[in-house]
Copies of this chain bind each other. A is one copy, B any other.
Amino acid sequence: MLYQVTFPVRYYEADPMGIVHHSEYIRYFEIARDTWLKSVGFDHKKCMEENLVFPVVSIHCDYKISAKFGQDVTVTAEITEFTGATVTFHQQVLDPHGNVCADGEVKLAFINTKLGHVVRCPESLRATFDGKY
């Protein structure tokens, strides 16, 4: 699956160079993952019921060209690896012309907030990731 969501750049996300600050792409990546999770039935309410959060283990991002205020951005999320202990997404931020602004990889783990430590992906979520890449 390749999930994508499109939204406008916000004014305060642009820096004195007039371009989106590099930290905002990291946030855009999260928005795409959260929107996708919600679309497959794993919204915030369900995560809380399952005492589940997804800490970021590592991030890599290559910055290509700059998104600007006044433009929409399209942010993609695609699962490239699922081990049971971690899930890895390939993610991109694209400008309205389809140019790649940022190209990244984000690895997440699973924490059970009741147990207070890292766990293997719970059964209820496993089906969501399995066969999705």
A residues near B (Cβ < 8 Å) are 7-8, 10-12, 14-18, 21-24, 26-27, 30-31, 34-35, 43-45, 53, 55-63, 66, 69-70, 113
Contact = CB atoms under 8 A, between A and B. Distances in A.
Contacts of A23: 12, 23-24, 26-27, 30
A58 B62 contact: yes
A57 B53 contact: no
Contacts of A8: 35
Contacts of A44: 69-70
Contacts of A16: 11, 14-18, 69
A31 B58 contact: no
